[in-house]
Structure 1
Amino acid sequence: MLGLSVTTLVGYLAVIAVLMITPGPDMMFVLTNATRYGARSGVIAALGVAAGETIHVAAVVCGLAAVITASPVLFTAIRWAGAVYLVILGIRAVRLSGTANHSHPERGATPRQAFLRGLVTNLLNPKMIMFSVAFLPQFVDPAAGDPTAQLILLGALFVAVQLTVDVTLGAGVGRLAHRMTDGLWSRRINRLCAFAFVALGVRLALG
C-alpha cells in the first residue's frame, strides 16, 4: 500500500482511533444534534464534520495549511472566529433547551443546516489545522513512494475513522434520545452540551 509498512499503518490507525474518541468541538456538535433532533440529524452533522476534515487534508496536501499556521494574524483570526462560533452554539443550545419539541426529536434542524454547521465547526477549529500539519507528515516515508499520495491515503484513513466514530455516536445517541422523550432529561442534556460548547470556545480563545 504505497510502500507503507503494515506496522506504520497499524500504529497510525491506533493513534487516530484514540484521538477520535477524545471529546472535542466536532464530537460535541454531533452529539448535540443527535440529542436534540434525532439520529438522522446526528449522522448528517457527522458528514458535515467529515467534509471539513477532507478540506483540511486537501489543504495539507496543497501546502495551504502550512501557510496558515505560518501567519500569526491569519491563524489568530481563525482561532477567534472558532471560539466565537462555539460560544454562539452554546448560547443557542441554552435558548432552545426550553423550546424543544421532545416528542418529535427529528424536527427543527434541516439536513442542510446540520451539514453546514458541522462543516463550519470543523473548519473554524485551528487545532485541526495544526494537527493536520504536525501529525499527518510524521507518518510519511519518502522511501515508500510518492509523499503526496501517502498524505492522501493517510488523510483518507483519518476521515474514514472519524466518520465511523461520529456516525456511530450520532445514530446511537439519536435513537436513545428518541426513546427518552422526558423533557427534563432533554433539557439537561442540552444545557450540558451548551456548557461544553462555551467552555471549548473560551479554551480556544485563551489558546
Structure 2
Amino acid sequence: MLGVSAATLAGYLAAIVVLMVTPGPDMMFVLANAARYGTRAGVVAALGVAAGEAVHVAAVVCGLAALVSASPVLFTAIRWAGAAYLIVLGVRALRGAGGPVDAVTEQGGRASRAFLRGLVTNLLNPKMILFSVAFLPQFVDPAAGDVTAQLVLLGALFVAVQLAVDIALGAGAGRLAGRLADGRWSRRINRICAVAFVALGIRLAAS
C-alpha cells in the first residue's frame, strides 16, 4: 500500500496507540470538556485536537516542521507560547472565568470554542513538532515508493487513531459525568483540570 509494508504498518499502529494513551495536554483538554459538559463537548474538543495534528502532519510533508525544529529561536518561542497558553487556561479555570473546560456553555451552545481551543492547544505543543519530525520519517522507506505519499498515509493514520482514542475517552467521560451530574462534581473536575493545565504549562516552560 503506497510502498508501506503490512509489517511496517502494524508496527507503526502499535507504536502510536501506545503514544496516544499517554496523558498529555490534548487528552486532558478532551477529558475536561467531556467531564464537565458531556459527550458532545468532548467530541468537539477531540475534533479540534485532530485538526491541529493534521496541520502538524501537513507541515512535515511540506518540510516546514523540520525548519521550525532546526530554529532554536522559533522553537523556543512556540514552547513559551504553548506554556503560557496552558497556564492561562488553568488560571482562568481556577478563577472561575472559564479555562480549559469553558469550551461549551451550560446550555450547550458555542461548541466552536471547544474546537478552537483544542486546535490551539495542539498547535502550540512544541513536542508535537519534534514528535512529527522524528517519528513519522522512521517508518518511511524511500526505496519503496513515493516518500510524500507514504508520509501522507502515515500522517492520516496518526490523526485517525488519535481521533478514535480521544472520542472514546470523551464519550466515556461524558457518560460518567451524566451519571454523576451535580454542581460539586463539575467544580471538582474544573479544579483538577485547571491544576493539571498549570502544571503541564510549567513543565513545558521548564523543559
Q: Give the stretch that moved more between structures: 156-165 or 87-96.
A: 87-96
Match of 1:115 in 2: 115
| Counterpart-to-counterpart distance in 2, 1:189 and 1:64 | 37
1:40 aligned residue:
40
CA 1:125–1:138: 2 relative to 1, 3 Å: same
CA–CA distance in structure 1, aligned partners of residues 80 and 108 of structure 2:
28
Q: Does 1:67 align with 2:67?
A: yes
What SS does the corresponding residue of 1:96 show, helix, strand or coil? coil
Displacement of 1:106 in angstroms is 5.0
Q: Percent identity?
A: 76
TM, length-normalised to structure 2: 0.93
Greater mean alpha carbon deviation, residues 1-10 or residues 175-184: 175-184
Counterpart in the other structure of 2:205: 205
1:86 and 2:80 aligned: no
The equivalent residue for 1:179 is 179
Give the superposed CA RMSD.
1.7
Contact 2:3–2:146 (CA under 8 A) maintained in structure 1: no
Q: TM-score, normalised by structure 1?
A: 0.93
Question: How has the CA–CA distance of structure 1 residues 91 and 126 changed in structure 2, closer, same or farther, with 3 Å as cutoff?
Answer: same
Give, in whole Å, the separation in 2 of the partners of 1:92 and 1:85.
11
Provide Cα deviations, 1:93-143, integer angstroms capped at 9, x if missing partner.
222399xxxxx9853662110000000000000000000000000000111
Query: What SS does the aligned partner of 2:95 have?
Result: helix
Q: Secondary structure at the match of 1:2?
A: coil
Alignment of 1:15-34 (within 5 A): 15-34=15-34
Separation in structure 2 between the aligned mates of residue 68 and residue 157 of structure 1, nearest angstrom = 23
1:79/1:124 contact within 8 Å kept = yes
Could you list the per-position Cα deviations for residues 56-109 of structure 1 after superposition, in whole angstroms to 9, with x for gaps in the alignment? Answer: 0000000000110111111000000000000111112222399xxxxx985366
State the distance in 2 between where 1:95 and 1:167 align.
28
The whole-number CA distance in structure 1 between the counterparts of 2:19 and 2:2 is 24
- Runs of 5+ consecutive residues of structure 1 not aligned to the other structure: 99-103
What one-letter code is carried by the residue in structure 1 that aligns with 2:149? A
Give, in whole Å, the separation in 2 of the partners of 1:185 and 1:33. Answer: 13
Q: Measure, in 2, the Cα distance between the counterparts of 1:16 and 1:111.
A: 28
**2:76 equivalent in structure 1:** 76
- CA drift of 1:3 comes to 2.4
| Number of matched pairs | 202
Question: Deviation of residue 184 (structure 1)?
Answer: 2.0
Structure 2 equivalent of residue 137 of structure 1: 137
Q: 1: distance between equivalents of 2:59 and 2:105?
A: 36
In the alignment, the residues of structure 2 paired with residue 77 and residue 97 of structure 1 have an alpha-carbon distance, to the nearest angstrom, of 26
- Spell out, residue by residue over 1:1-54, the C-alpha distance to the aligned partner (whole angstroms, 9 max, x if none): 112211110000000000000000000001111112111011000000000000
Contact 1:37 1:106 in 2 (8 A): yes
List runs of 5+ in structure 2 lacking aligned partners.
99-103
Q: Could you tell me which amino acid in structure 1 is paired with residue 120 of structure 2?
A: V
